[in-house]
Amino acid sequence: MISFFINEKKYQCTVSETMRLIDLLRGELALTGTKLSCEIGRCGSCMVLLDGKPVNSCLTMAYQCDGKRVTTIEGLAEGEQLHPVQEAFLQEGGFQCGYCTSGMVISTAALLDAVPNPDQEQVLEALSGNLCRCTGYGSILRAVGTACTRVSKEKKEMSG
Protein backbone atom coordinates (compact mmCIF):
# COMPACT_ATOMS: atom_id res chain seq x y z
CA MET A 1 0.00 0.00 0.00
CA ILE A 2 1.37 3.42 -0.92
CA SER A 3 0.12 6.78 0.19
CA PHE A 4 0.75 9.87 -1.87
CA PHE A 5 -0.75 13.04 -3.30
CA ILE A 6 -1.83 13.50 -6.87
CA ASN A 7 -2.80 17.03 -7.80
CA GLU A 8 -3.08 17.89 -4.09
CA LYS A 9 -5.52 15.03 -3.41
CA LYS A 10 -4.43 12.22 -1.11
CA TYR A 11 -4.56 8.66 -2.43
CA GLN A 12 -3.86 5.30 -0.87
CA CYS A 13 -3.37 2.56 -3.43
CA THR A 14 -2.24 -1.02 -3.49
CA VAL A 15 0.30 -1.35 -6.28
CA SER A 16 2.31 -4.26 -7.59
CA GLU A 17 6.10 -4.07 -7.75
CA THR A 18 5.93 -3.86 -11.52
CA MET A 19 3.27 -1.18 -11.85
CA ARG A 20 4.57 1.99 -13.48
CA LEU A 21 3.32 5.41 -12.46
CA ILE A 22 1.78 5.88 -15.93
CA ASP A 23 -0.25 2.68 -15.49
CA LEU A 24 -1.54 3.89 -12.14
CA LEU A 25 -2.44 7.33 -13.50
CA ARG A 26 -4.12 6.27 -16.73
CA GLY A 27 -5.31 2.75 -15.94
CA GLU A 28 -6.42 3.00 -12.32
CA LEU A 29 -7.16 6.68 -11.75
CA ALA A 30 -8.42 7.69 -15.22
CA LEU A 31 -6.01 10.62 -15.39
CA THR A 32 -5.57 10.26 -19.14
CA GLY A 33 -4.11 13.70 -19.86
CA THR A 34 -0.68 12.12 -19.41
CA LYS A 35 0.11 10.27 -22.64
CA LEU A 36 1.96 7.03 -23.22
CA SER A 37 4.01 6.74 -26.36
CA CYS A 38 7.56 5.36 -26.64
CA GLU A 39 7.50 3.64 -23.20
CA ILE A 40 11.30 3.83 -22.99
CA GLY A 41 11.96 7.32 -21.67
CA ARG A 42 12.75 8.93 -25.02
CA CYS A 43 9.76 11.09 -25.96
CA GLY A 44 8.55 12.89 -22.82
CA SER A 45 4.85 12.55 -23.62
CA CYS A 46 4.35 10.83 -20.24
CA MET A 47 6.03 13.63 -18.24
CA VAL A 48 4.62 14.52 -14.80
CA LEU A 49 6.04 16.39 -11.83
CA LEU A 50 7.27 14.36 -8.88
CA ASP A 51 7.84 16.65 -5.92
CA GLY A 52 8.00 19.48 -8.46
CA LYS A 53 10.61 17.88 -10.75
CA PRO A 54 9.75 16.55 -14.23
CA VAL A 55 9.99 12.76 -14.59
CA ASN A 56 8.94 10.26 -17.23
CA SER A 57 6.06 8.34 -15.70
CA CYS A 58 6.81 5.39 -18.01
CA LEU A 59 10.14 4.95 -16.21
CA THR A 60 8.91 5.72 -12.69
CA MET A 61 7.52 2.86 -10.66
CA ALA A 62 4.32 3.54 -8.74
CA TYR A 63 5.90 2.41 -5.45
CA GLN A 64 8.60 5.10 -5.84
CA CYS A 65 5.88 7.74 -5.35
CA ASP A 66 5.12 6.67 -1.80
CA GLY A 67 5.00 9.78 0.40
CA LYS A 68 5.51 12.11 -2.59
CA ARG A 69 3.52 14.65 -4.56
CA VAL A 70 2.64 14.00 -8.18
CA THR A 71 1.32 16.73 -10.43
CA THR A 72 -0.19 15.78 -13.78
CA ILE A 73 -1.47 18.03 -16.55
CA GLU A 74 -4.92 17.86 -14.90
CA GLY A 75 -3.46 19.50 -11.77
CA LEU A 76 -1.82 22.54 -13.36
CA ALA A 77 -4.96 24.63 -13.78
CA GLU A 78 -6.58 26.19 -10.73
CA GLY A 79 -10.27 25.49 -11.21
CA GLU A 80 -11.31 27.19 -14.43
CA GLN A 81 -8.11 29.24 -14.53
CA LEU A 82 -5.55 27.65 -16.82
CA HIS A 83 -1.88 27.69 -15.90
CA PRO A 84 -0.04 30.49 -17.79
CA VAL A 85 1.88 27.86 -19.76
CA GLN A 86 -1.38 26.24 -20.88
CA GLU A 87 -2.72 29.65 -21.89
CA ALA A 88 0.43 30.38 -23.87
CA PHE A 89 0.19 27.07 -25.77
CA LEU A 90 -3.44 27.86 -26.59
CA GLN A 91 -2.64 31.40 -27.66
CA GLU A 92 0.24 30.36 -29.92
CA GLY A 93 -1.31 27.14 -31.21
CA GLY A 94 1.63 25.20 -29.76
CA PHE A 95 0.27 21.80 -30.79
CA GLN A 96 -0.90 19.80 -33.78
CA CYS A 97 -2.10 16.29 -32.85
CA GLY A 98 -1.57 17.24 -29.21
CA TYR A 99 0.03 13.98 -28.17
CA CYS A 100 3.24 15.61 -26.93
CA THR A 101 1.50 18.66 -25.50
CA SER A 102 0.92 17.69 -21.89
CA GLY A 103 4.58 16.65 -21.57
CA MET A 104 5.74 19.90 -23.21
CA VAL A 105 3.54 21.94 -20.88
CA ILE A 106 4.74 20.04 -17.78
CA SER A 107 8.42 20.50 -18.73
CA THR A 108 7.88 24.19 -19.43
CA ALA A 109 6.01 24.74 -16.17
CA ALA A 110 8.85 23.05 -14.26
CA LEU A 111 11.42 25.19 -16.03
CA LEU A 112 9.60 28.43 -15.27
CA ASP A 113 9.17 27.42 -11.67
CA ALA A 114 12.93 26.95 -11.33
CA VAL A 115 14.12 29.71 -13.71
CA PRO A 116 11.59 32.53 -14.14
CA ASN A 117 13.33 34.13 -17.10
CA PRO A 118 15.23 31.39 -18.96
CA ASP A 119 17.46 32.04 -21.95
CA GLN A 120 17.16 30.08 -25.21
CA GLU A 121 19.79 27.56 -24.13
CA GLN A 122 17.96 26.83 -20.87
CA VAL A 123 14.66 26.41 -22.76
CA LEU A 124 16.20 23.98 -25.24
CA GLU A 125 17.87 22.04 -22.42
CA ALA A 126 14.60 21.83 -20.45
CA LEU A 127 12.71 20.56 -23.51
CA SER A 128 15.46 18.22 -24.69
CA GLY A 129 13.54 15.22 -23.36
CA ASN A 130 10.31 16.13 -25.16
CA LEU A 131 9.81 15.09 -28.77
CA CYS A 132 7.06 16.24 -31.11
CA ARG A 133 6.33 13.73 -33.83
CA CYS A 134 4.38 16.37 -35.73
CA THR A 135 7.59 18.47 -35.64
CA GLY A 136 5.68 21.58 -34.66
CA TYR A 137 8.67 23.00 -32.83
CA GLY A 138 8.29 26.53 -34.17
CA SER A 139 4.91 27.08 -32.54
CA ILE A 140 5.95 25.17 -29.42
CA LEU A 141 8.97 27.42 -28.91
CA ARG A 142 6.82 30.48 -29.57
CA ALA A 143 4.40 29.24 -26.90
CA VAL A 144 7.26 28.73 -24.45
CA GLY A 145 8.49 32.27 -25.15
CA THR A 146 5.00 33.65 -24.51
CA ALA A 147 4.77 31.59 -21.32
CA CYS A 148 8.10 33.04 -20.12
CA THR A 149 6.81 36.57 -20.69
CA ARG A 150 3.51 35.85 -18.89
CA VAL A 151 5.14 34.18 -15.90
CA SER A 152 7.80 36.83 -15.39
CA LYS A 153 5.11 39.56 -15.70
CA GLU A 154 2.95 37.78 -13.11
CA LYS A 155 5.91 37.43 -10.75
CA LYS A 156 6.75 41.13 -11.11
CA GLU A 157 3.12 42.09 -10.36
CA MET A 158 3.05 39.83 -7.31
CA SER A 159 6.31 41.24 -5.95
CA GLY A 160 4.96 44.72 -6.03
Residue 145 Cβ, how far from ligand FES at the closest point, in Å? 17
Residue 129 Cβ, how far from ligand FES at the closest point, in Å? 7
Residues 6+ apart with CB under 8 A from 147: 84, 85, 87, 88, 89, 108, 112
Closer to ligand FES by Cβ: residue 4 or 95 = 95
d(CA 122, CA 113): 13
Closer to ligand FES by Cβ: residue 11 or 137 = 137
Residue 23 Cβ, how far from ligand FES at the closest point, in Å? 12
Closer to ligand FES by Cβ: residue 48 or 79 = 48
Residues that bind ligand FES (CB under 6 A): 36-39, 41-46, 56, 58, 95-100, 132-134, 136
| Concatenated DSSP letters of 80-116 | TB--HHHHHHHHHT--SS-TTHHHHHHHHHHHHHH-S
> Which is nearest to 41 in space by CA: 16, 58, 24?
58
Residue 25 Cβ, how far from ligand FES at the closest point, in Å? 12
d(CA 33, CA 133): 17
Residue 144 Cβ, how far from ligand FES at the closest point, in Å? 13
> Which is nearest to 35 in space by CA: 128, 133, 142?
133
Closer to ligand FES by Cβ: residue 39 or 152 = 39
Residues 6+ apart with CB under 8 A from 127: 104, 107, 108, 111, 140, 144
Closer to ligand FES by Cβ: residue 45 or 107 = 45
